[in-house]
């Protein structure tokens, strides 16, 4: 039996005296899964390649069986299973409404898994929302009732937890925080709008801006180790202390990120905004100036209801933990 | 006894066989109040001038006594009292944290009213939030579980109802939808930011734009009946069918309003967005083109989870009804 990932190495309890939960995190290439008890002790952890299309539920059940075997329990001993999945998910009806990469449309994922696991309770939600729930329950948002996760990647994903509960909007179609316009008539977005937050503050936006500046300014020190083709979102952070062009890119990026953060802070007034994705690995180089910019613009100031900005802490595990948090919901 | 405002003139029930609720809507100059039963029948309605400062609770109780007298009941026969108030309100603790116009700071309004009304349950919230709750329960949002109210005035106020419940954010400090930047580095806002939604889509923004355009273009037909000083937010609507300059102003305004609506739709994915304030009196001249613009930009399109745009229906009564809705909360 594995030791526990959350309670400092103490072994998970034997037997089924505690409530046990399974979390499955479906990605485009891999499904990761864990079994955890109510105290956060992990008794099994595994992954298998994702089968796209109609076979997805069987694939989930195959992983579930492996996890149950490793934990030495039966499906009937699970209190609930949480599953997160990319795409448009109707969590209320347990359906994948549409998931392009998984080649699924109107797919009753929760019902299929439930049937194949002998009737155990199964809940599903979108992967970005699950990550927000995971961070809120087990990660950087632990101890707060209201949190927002902003994940900086190719786009901007994320999710919102209000009073301890995942917020998804009507038919689970909300929380599209990357598609909030912060610059009317700005950079065109894949969603059809112009000037979306993710066009200015995603890791991809930072990379594109860096490449654009490098192409325009061959005197910048960034050319020492990168070209306009090899530069990434990390490049300007590496050079920000020694190169003016890099510093300017970071200033531009931080202002954009702060703009979206303050919008979300004014709308949701969470206690904490957690930043996830590769850019968040910059740690205090990102968070410290971002917190200052957010504090300077927060509606009504910071005295009454401050909003903390921090790095998300679960990394690639956020989905699995989120799936567990979904299963844990009363 | 008055006839009922909501159930087509049928008289409200006599006696106290039904649960009765009181709603008090505190404004800067007037406090309006009603007593309503659980079926929406009004048994008393009145108002008195607002007493600012520490005497506010006594003033509320004076109005409450008048309402109780008119309804022929005692305070102990009320199930609950709802009170809404401008300013920063901590609804959880029943306190006015700060209300500049009412000259109040850290004022335990709910507790004071409760004591003076013999211990009846008292709930308070911010006036913009109450209006959203009122519209959701009794107005244009009736029948929907998820709605957003956008009130267009000097600024942009409003509120959000999620799954039938008022959303207020941590310490009731959220839902500041007017202070969402839609144009980075745009028009300076009273909140200290630049480019806030309310600087582009409030009634005031429309009025200022009209005056600016009239000052620049003395050939516009709007000069027939208005000057750059007398023009209001109504002016371009009056001339939009016959004057190019007026039409351009309306197009500019609608795009701005749609931008904020779609941001809120993508974030909250409500079933309905209700537009309140004087501009909403334009009815279909405002709503029809706005709905088209929103539909064209809504994330994922309109098939799966459409968002209806409509005019708020309670007008100046939204606060009172919202206070009742607050009292009705289980």
Q: What is the DSSP string of B256-306?
A: HHHHHHHHHHHHH--SEEEEESGGGGGTHHHHHHHHHHHHHHSTT-SSSS-
* B chain contacts of residue A296, beta-carbon cutoff 8 Å: 192
Which residue on chain B is closest to A257 by alpha carbon? B184
Please count the residue pairs, one from chain A and one from chain B, whose beta carbons lie less than 8 angstroms apart.
132
Rounded Cα gap, residues A57 and A96, in angstroms: 11
Q: Is A1 a residue whose pLDDT tops 60?
A: no
Task: Assign residue A81 a region (left: φ > 0; alpha: ψ between -120 and 50; beta: otherwise).
Answer: beta
DSSP letter assigned to residue B74: -
Predicted local distance difference test score (pLDDT) of residue B38: 85
Verify whether the Cβ–Cβ distance B270 to A169 is below 8 Å.
yes
Residues B196 and B189: beta-carbon distance below 8 Å: yes
Q: Residue holding tokens 């299963």?
A: A327
Q: Calculate how close chain A gets to B210, using CA atoms only, in Å.
A: 20
Verify whether the Cβ–Cβ distance B256 to A184 is below 8 Å.
yes
Q: CA separation (Å) from B219 to B205, B206, B213, B222? A: 22, 19, 10, 8
Bridge partners of residue A194, in order along the sequence: A188
Q: CA separation (Å) from B47 to B8, B27, B50, B99? A: 23, 10, 9, 20
Segment A87-92 mean pLDDT: 95
Rounded Cα gap, residues A147 and A164, in angstroms: 8
Nearest by CB: B88 against A146, A181, A304: A304
Q: Which two tokens stand for residue B183?
A: 């144009």
Q: Residue holding tokens 């244009």?
A: B140
- Counting Cα atoms < 13 Å in the Cβ hemisphere of B151 gives 25
Rounded Cα gap, residues A116 and A84, in angstroms: 17
Residues A178 and A198: beta-carbon distance below 8 Å: yes
- The yes/no answer to whether this complex scores an ipTM above 0.85 is yes
Which residue on chain A is closest to B180 by alpha carbon? A263
* A chain contacts of residue B93, beta-carbon cutoff 8 Å: none
* A chain contacts of residue B97, beta-carbon cutoff 8 Å: 304
Q: Is A250 a residue whose pLDDT tops 50?
A: yes
* H-type alpha helices, A217-283: 235-239, 244-268
Q: How would you write the pLDDT of chain B (330 residues) with one tens digit per residue?
A: 344 444 444 444 444 468 999 999 999 999 999 999 988 899 999 999 999 999 999 999 999 999 999 999 999 999 999 999 999 999 999 999 999 899 999 999 999 999 999 999 999 999 999 999 999 999 999 999 999 999 999 999 999 999 999 999 999 999 999 999 999 999 999 999 999 999 999 999 999 999 999 999 999 999 999 999 999 999 999 999 999 999 999 999 999 999 999 999 999 999 999 999 999 999 999 999 999 999 999 999 999 999 999 999 999 999 999 999 999 988
pTM reported for the whole predicted model:
0.94
Dihedral sign, Cα of residue B122, residue B128, residue B129, residue B131: positive
Which residue on chain B is closest to A269 by alpha carbon? B174
Predicted local distance difference test score (pLDDT) of residue B318: 96
Length of chain A in terms of residues written: 330
CA A21 to chain centre: 20
Q: Which two tokens stand for residue B231?
A: 């023009």
Predicted local distance difference test score (pLDDT) of residue A40: 86
Q: State pLDDT tens for residues A131-141.
A: 999 999 999 99
* H-type alpha helices, A97-239: 109-116, 127-138, 198-201, 203-216, 235-239
DSSP-derived secondary structure for A186-210: -SB-TTS-BSBTHHHHSHHHHHHHH
Segment A96-121 mean pLDDT: 96
Q: Calculate how close chain A gets to B118, using CA atoms only, in Å.
A: 31
Q: State pLDDT tens for residues A22-47.
A: 999 999 999 999 999 988 899 999 99
Which residue on chain A is closest to B175 by alpha carbon? A267
């Amino acid at each position: 039996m594995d030791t526990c990932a959350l309670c400092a190495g103490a072994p998970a309890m034997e037997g089924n005296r505690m409530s046990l939960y399974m979390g499955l995190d479906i990605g485009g290439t891999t499904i990761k899964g864990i079994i955890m008890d109510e105290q956060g002790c992990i008794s099994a952890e595994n992954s298998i390649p994702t089968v796209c299309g109609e076979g997805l539920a069987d694939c989930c059940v195959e992983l579930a069986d492996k996890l149950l075997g490793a934990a030495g329990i039966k499906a009937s001993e699970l209190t609930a299973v949480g599953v997160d999945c990319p795409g448009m998910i109707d969590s209320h009806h347990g359906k994948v409404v549409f998931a392009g990469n998984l080649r699924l449309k109107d797919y009753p994922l929760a019902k299929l898994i439930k049937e194949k696991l002998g009737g155990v309770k199964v809940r599903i939600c979108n992967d970005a929302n699950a990550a927000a729930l995971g961070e809120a329950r087990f990660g950087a948002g632990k101890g707060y009732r209201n949190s927002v996760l902003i994940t900086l990647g190719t786009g901007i994903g994320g999710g919102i937890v209000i009073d301890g509960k995942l917020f998804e909007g009507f038919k689970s179609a909300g929380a599209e925080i990357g598609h909030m316009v912060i610059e009317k008539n700005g950079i065109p977005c894949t969603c059809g709008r112009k000037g979306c937050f993710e066009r200015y503050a995603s890791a991809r936006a930072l990379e594109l801006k860096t490449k654009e500046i490098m192409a325009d300014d061959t005197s910048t020190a960034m050319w020492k180790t990168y070209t306009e083709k090899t530069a990434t979102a990390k490049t300007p952070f590496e050079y920000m202390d020694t190169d003016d062009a890099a510093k300017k890119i970071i200033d531009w990026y931080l202002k954009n990120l702060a703009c979206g953060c303050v919008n979300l802070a004014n709308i949701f007034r969470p206690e904490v905004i957690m930043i996830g994705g590769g850019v968040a690995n910059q740690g205090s180089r990102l968070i410290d100036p971002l917190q200052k910019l957010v504090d300077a613009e927060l509606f009504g100031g910071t005295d009454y209801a401050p909003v903390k900005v921090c790095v998300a802490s679960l990394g690639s595990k956020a989905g699995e933990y989120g799936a567990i948090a979904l299963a844990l919901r009363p």
